[in-house]
Structure 1
Amino acid sequence: MLVITNNCMVEEHCYNRKITIIKVETLMEVLIKGRDLVHKNYNLLNHPLCTSIKPYPNLYKTILLEEGERVDFASVNLIENAIGVAKKFAEREMVALSNDVLKDYQLIDYGVFLETIK
């Protein structure tokens, strides 16, 4: 299993369990790195936009992948559509979020991650 995230809570969890992780800075970088790997025969293990929270203002995202033998076109469609949705929301003006709200979004993403790896 390979994890791509911009969430320090997920990063810490993976580090302690020696799970392979790619740490990036932004939500869009998570999606783009995921897309790049999907095009190199990796399969998505979770939907890139699996919560009902829109990509903005939720700035934290974690996706899980596993290496496959060929390109999985369902994964390609999911990740490409997720990038399109994220780009659409990125064009909107962001409001400043407090540290408490940002921590809440991190916790939501971390919770989804934990449920996915069960």
Structure 2
Amino acid sequence: MKLKPVILTNNPLTKSSLEDKYDVLYKPQASLMDILIMARDYIHRGHRLLTHPLMGSIKPNQTPYKSIAISRDCFEEVDLLSVEIIEESILKADQLIKSSKTLIYTDKVLRDFSLIDFDLIKNALN
């Protein structure tokens, strides 16, 4: 069974590039951790994780952007694998973020991180 996705993101490039093809829940002021927690809350209500929250080689403390695909449909039973993956991802992200300095990025670097996040979610959906 192929599940239709909803994309949770704080990335403007993901929103503008994918909103014509997918449901995109865009939260521009959300942090990376906010997006992970939002995904967790949906998963606890019965949605399924469709992409790994920490895919790619960019660590959560290195980028402000995060895009995650979850199922559009909400199931009666909570998917325990989705819960395990999102909870472990939140713990790992929290550890990395707390153990590093807050970084200030130039607009060019932010555009690069935005493109990387977009490319990861686009390729995962294909």
- The TM-score with structure 2 as length reference comes to 0.86
Looking at structure 2, the residues matched to 27 and 75 of structure 1 have their Cα atoms a distance apart, in angstroms, of: 18
Question: What's the offset of the Cα at 1:38?
Answer: 0.5
User: Please, which moves more after superposition, 8-17 or 103-112?
Assistant: 8-17
Which AA in structure 2 matches 1:73? L
Which AA in structure 2 matches 1:47? H
For structure 1, the residue ranges without an aligned partner over 5 or more in a row are none
Percent identical: 31
Question: What's the offset of the Cα at 1:94?
Answer: 1.6
Aligned residues: 117
SS of equivalent residue, structure 1 residue 43? coil
Moved over 4 A (4+): none
Looking at structure 2, the residues matched to 39 and 86 of structure 1 have their Cα atoms a distance apart, in angstroms, of: 19
Looking at structure 1, the residues matched to 114 and 94 of structure 2 have their Cα atoms a distance apart, in angstroms, of: 20
Out of 37, 42, 45, the position equivalent to 1:40 is 45
Structure 2 residue 76 is the aligned partner of structure 1 residue 72: no
Looking at structure 2, the residues matched to 87 and 110 of structure 1 have their Cα atoms a distance apart, in angstroms, of: 22
Q: What residue number does 1:49 align with? A: 54
- The TM-score with structure 1 as length reference comes to 0.92
Question: What's the offset of the Cα at 1:68?
Answer: 4.7
Preserved contact between residue 57 and residue 94 of structure 1 (Cα < 8 Å): no
Looking at structure 2, the residues matched to 41 and 95 of structure 1 have their Cα atoms a distance apart, in angstroms, of: 35
Preserved contact between residue 11 and residue 21 of structure 1 (Cα < 8 Å): yes
Question: What's the offset of the Cα at 1:102?
Answer: 1.1
SS of equivalent residue, structure 2 residue 20? helix
For structure 2, the residue ranges without an aligned partner over 5 or more in a row are none
Looking at structure 1, the residues matched to 45 and 37 of structure 2 have their Cα atoms a distance apart, in angstroms, of: 13
Q: What residue number does 1:13 align with? A: 17
